[in-house]
Amino acid sequence: MKYTFPLAAVIALVLIAWIGSNIPGMQYVFGVVIPYLAIGTFIIGFCYRVVQWAKSPVPFKIPTTCGQQYSLPWIKHDKLEAPSTTSQVAARMFLEIVLFRSLWRNTKAEVHEGPQLTYESSKWLWLFGILFHYSFLVIILRHMRLFLDPVPGFIQALEFGDGILQVGAPTMYLTDLTILIGLLLLFGRRLVNRQVNYISLANDYFPLFLIFAIAVTGILMRFFLRTDIDIVAIKRLAVGLATFQPAIMSDIGSIFYIHLFLVSVLLAYFPYSKLMHMGGVFLSPTRNMANDSRMRRHINPWNPDIKPHSYASYEDEFREFMVDAGIPVEKELPPKAEEE
């Protein structure tokens, strides 16, 4: 069920967009109403999750460390594995976010006959992950040309570099191919690796199927069903959505509405899924905290102001019950209390 249900859900979404966009008058719903609702859901949900994470208390210093922390001057300090200053934490976060450093350092543990436990480097996961994420980023930036007029120079340069091989007509973009490869490899990892397959759930496969469907419909729209869509009308609709003056001037084509509807579903689903690691990585205390517990005391700022309760005050409050229970006390009961 964890494979078939997400796949069936994506197929159902494609059918909904295909059938709905062919109903007269529903083009405005799929082209304007649903995208605006999806964008609003994305912004509100993203901000809500970030605010909730930011409000979560961090009672202890819990940075992930696997190197020598700062101590004595003659002991070499590993500044990236055990950062002790804000600049070192920033450097570690930069490498983590931009280069996926933790995945690069990934190791695989296996038990062989003997028994013998071995640790091996596993760089392929880093390669698949960075291939997928950077392909996705470039595709998003390329699509900005639909919303901007005139198109900025850096987007034109990025588009030129993405299609530098000049394969096919229209030109095939490298990221159209690499994102599919990345998706297939990440999906195959969940099928082949027994440990990962065991812990994978339906909500792990649904984003993969959904993004794969978005990529495939985009490729179909560009290379195979180009005659069925109106590029000028798409540009006008995109600029209209960005300027809050949307208008559907002509019949754009069902494949465009399917593609746009799937993108809208991804946007609305994003804040409430595991895809929110995009925002959560910045708020992870295991990454954004300095390993300086020996230099300064960490006090949880969310702790309530609790007045100290000394043993003397505790005994004053419960002395009578302690005497009745035979527990020794430092002060005897007052004479009045003894008579009673």
Assign 14 a pLDDT band (cuts: 50, 70, 90).
very high
As given in the structure block, the two tokens for residue 225 are 């069903």
316 or 106, which is more confident? 316
Distance, first Cα to last Cα, the chain: 72
Distance CA 143, CA 155 (A): 9
* 181 pLDDT higher than 80: yes
Task: Please classify residue 259 by burial: count the beta carbons closer than 10 Å to its beta carbon, then call 0-12 exposed, 13-18 middle and 19+ buried.
Answer: buried
E strand or H helix at 285, and its extent? helix 285-288
Q: Which CATH architecture has domain 4-306?
A: Up-down Bundle (1.20)
pTM: 0.82
**Residue 335 preceded by cis peptide, ω within 30:** no
> What is the reported pLDDT for 270?
95
Span of 24-28, 116-120, 291-295 with lowest mean pLDDT: 116-120
> What is the reported pLDDT for 168?
65
> From the CB of residue 118, how many other CB atoms can be counted at a distance below 10 Å?
11
| For range 93-106, the mean pLDDT | 86
* 316 pLDDT higher than 80: yes
Furthest-apart CA atoms within the chain: distance in Å: 105
* 338 pLDDT higher than 80: no
Please list the alpha-helical segments (H only) found in 100-173: 101-104, 124-143, 153-162
> What is the CA 239 to chain-centroid distance, rounded?
28
pLDDT tens digits for range 217-263: 998 888 877 766 778 888 888 888 888 888 887 778 889 999 999 99
Domain locations in the chain as residue ranges: 4-306, 307-340
Q: Is 117 helix (H, G, I), strand (E, B) or coil?
A: strand
DSSP 292-331: -TTTS----TTS--PPP--HHHHHHHHHHHHHHTT---SS
- Identify the sign of the CA torsion 25, 27, 31, 34: positive
**Maximum average pLDDT range among 96-110, 151-165, 224-238, 322-336:** 151-165
Give the phi and the psi of residue 120 in degrees, each rounded to 5.
-130, 150
169 or 216, which is more confident? 216
pLDDT tens digits for range 103-140: 887 777 777 777 888 777 778 888 888 999 999 999 99
- Among left, alpha and beta (phi > 0; psi -120 to 50; other), residue 326 is left
Question: What is the average pLDDT score of the chain?
Answer: 86
> What is the reported pLDDT for 299?
78
**Residue 170 preceded by cis peptide, ω within 30:** yes
Span of 66-75, 116-125, 207-216, 274-283 with lowest mean pLDDT: 116-125
Contact yes or no for 290/85 (Cβ under 8 A): yes
